[in-house]
Amino acid sequence: MGLGLSLVYLHPFLTLWECLAAAAPIGLTLSTWIGVLFKSTLFRSVPGLPPSIGIVTCLLQIVISIMCFVKKSQCWSRNHTKIAKAQLLHFSLSFLPLVFLSFWLAMIHYTHSLLEEGGKYHVGGSVYGDLPFHLTIITSILHGVNQYATPLTSGLQAAFFADSPLVYPWIPDYHAALVAGSGSTFHFALCYPGIMLTSSFFFLLFFLYFRMTQSRRIALMSVPITFFAGGIGGFLWLLYDGTWKTLLAEDHVLVNSLSRTIEFYWFSLPAHILFPQRTTQFAYSISLLVLIVIHKAYTSKPSPVTVFHRKSSLVIDDDLKGKNGAPKEHFTMGAVPNEHDTLKLFGAAGFICGLLPLLQVHSFAAVGLVILTVAFIHVVKIGGTVVKSMRTNSNLSWAFQIAKGHQLKWWLVFGIASWGIGMPQNLAFFMKVLFPTHRPSARSFLRFMLISSDFPPQGNIILLWLQALGFYVPLYLAD
């Protein structure tokens, strides 16, 4: 279902391969919401999540997928196939290390998820601290306090605090409960989403870097730099340990530092984030997809003649040209959207962003801050060019700047879509912050402040910023 929806609403403006990478987070998230819908309506009087919910959820996904593929096949052309093959050829060498990384981390996911040996369950590495918490939520949905809960109307209860609402992004655990309730093992319910979402994360990360830099080399180098906490984590691992056993099992950034006194503002991505924190497995891929869609919609420059045309047309973006004289279509990264298509892309990005609060509310806030920054820069740029046009008294230039002012609708569409979907999910978090029952926990839950003022011993915000970027600084300055 995720692939079908991605192809219908994001292709050809995103590449086929970006749509493939986006299929896992979109499909898993929306399938969970379908299960939530059925539990809140048709199965509200049934305890837990019986296999019948999983069956009807899968059937509806199949119907939606068939409808999407039929709709897409009607507008698929030979040109699309040609471009997809050219893109695969162009990125093939870059994909190989990403595929290797995906298989390697799949093995780690398998061994670090809940395994049963001799009637006993165990986990691996840094997952041991988080998994019992997630299992508490999952089992409460299947057999405990939330087995009769209807999430769309009454919400969920916290299984670890008596008579308290669950203020936590519970969609990832609800998905695991749906899979386990359908007859699967807990190991499979925890393992297979992690494998798909982690692989999706690294491919989407590569595509975002590529769109930002237009360089396969920098995009590919940026992936391991991110994997090793800005490169600092890998350096500290080599300096203080260097064994394969601890590479993914320890957070070297927090345990070690260059001077043993400086704390770097990083977490080890695999040990601290991807394996133990199930919410990030969903939210990080969704966040990257939002940024990719916004980047495509914002940076594509349709012709002024067709800027207000509502009829979609496939105009190939040939900004990325090969240095070896290869045909331009070998380096295309999607069709150029006209104004109507751009609004649809911003709306799609807003819808996807609206899925984030109950996946991970921190990601919703972080993506929102990034989008607000870009929107502010865009508004300032439009205002500056309009003022400049007024001073030159050029009627043609003035008319074109008015047309650019029309672009302000982009951000309005994104905001309405993201907050229209995300606001109901955020209500529980707002209530916790605005009307806390335990003020110390509310203060630690959400605060807006300069990180340098609360991150000793590095109080200099410039140095903290450089430390947070790590080896990105020399890599991107050298390009």
* Structural contact between residues 243 and 264, judged by C-beta atoms closer than 8 angstroms: no
Closest CA to 292 of 234, 220, 345: 345
* Polymer length of the chain: 479
pTM: 0.88
Residue bearing tokens 């819908």: 37
Distance separating alpha carbons of residues 369 and 386, to the nearest angstrom: 26
pLDDT score of 452 more than 70 = no
Closest CA to 16 of 203, 186, 171: 203
Distance separating alpha carbons of residues 31 and 58, to the nearest angstrom: 8
Percent of the chain with pLDDT over 90: 36
CB atoms within 10 A of CB 229: 29
Chain-wide mean pLDDT for the chain? Answer: 82
Distance separating alpha carbons of residues 196 and 207, to the nearest angstrom: 17
Instruction: Calculate the CA dihedral of residues 246, 249, 252, 253 and round it to 10 degrees.
Output: 160
pLDDT score of 141 more than 90 = yes
* Structural contact between residues 367 and 355, judged by C-beta atoms closer than 8 angstroms: no
pLDDT score of 25 more than 50 = yes
pLDDT score of 58 more than 50 = yes
Summarised one tens digit per residue, pLDDT across range 242-296 is 777 777 777 777 777 666 566 666 777 887 788 888 899 999 999 999 999 999 9
Residue bearing tokens 């799949």: 106
Closest CA to 356 of 271, 452, 284: 284
64 vs 443, higher pLDDT = 64
Mean pLDDT on 37-52: 91
Six-digit token pair at 156? 């969920």
Summarised one tens digit per residue, pLDDT across range 362-405 is 899 999 999 999 999 988 887 777 777 667 765 555 555 555 66
Domain boundaries, the chain: 2-228+268-448
